[in-house]
Amino acid sequence: MDRDEAAAVLRAAEAHRETVRAAGRWPVTVLLALGGVLFATEFTTAFTSGAWTFLPAAWAAICAAWVGWYASRQSVRPRGYLRRYSVSLVAGMLLHVGYVLVLVLAGWHGEPLVALVGAAAVAAPFFVGAHVESRAA
């Protein structure tokens, strides 16, 4: 192998490494976006009632549409990403149901501290997932 061939192999290896890095970065962006939107949604839900609850739900729906569009545009996907992120999604949704039940049954609707803690708990699986993915990349 001469010098030019070795340089070409080295460039190809560097391009592959950058592709692998890119595959690890976009899931972190998606998880952070979902966590942020869910935090805002859950916090707002504690202070709204009736038809106004559709406003934070619309934020979450718009974010979910963006996530679907963003993920479909990525040419490189990490192996097993759907299985890994479904854990965060299921955990977040279960925590959401528990949070809403606590708000309704305990009568804590409109309490700022409860809203802050509940919103942080619901968004936590997404932030933890983003941290884990950023460390793995």
Contact 24, 78 (CB under 8 A): yes
Q: What is the pLDDT along the chain (137 residues), one digit of tens a residue?
A: 788 888 888 888 887 777 766 666 778 888 888 889 889 888 888 887 766 777 777 877 888 788 778 777 776 666 666 777 778 888 888 888 888 888 888 888 888 898 899 899 989 998 988 888 788 75
Question: Which position has the token pair 């998606």?
Answer: 30
- Distance CA(44)–CA(26), nearest Å, equals 27
Question: Which position has the token pair 């950023």?
Answer: 134
Task: Give me the pLDDT at residue 59, please.
Answer: 77
> What residue segments make up the domains of the chain, in order of their start?
3-136
The pTM score is 0.71
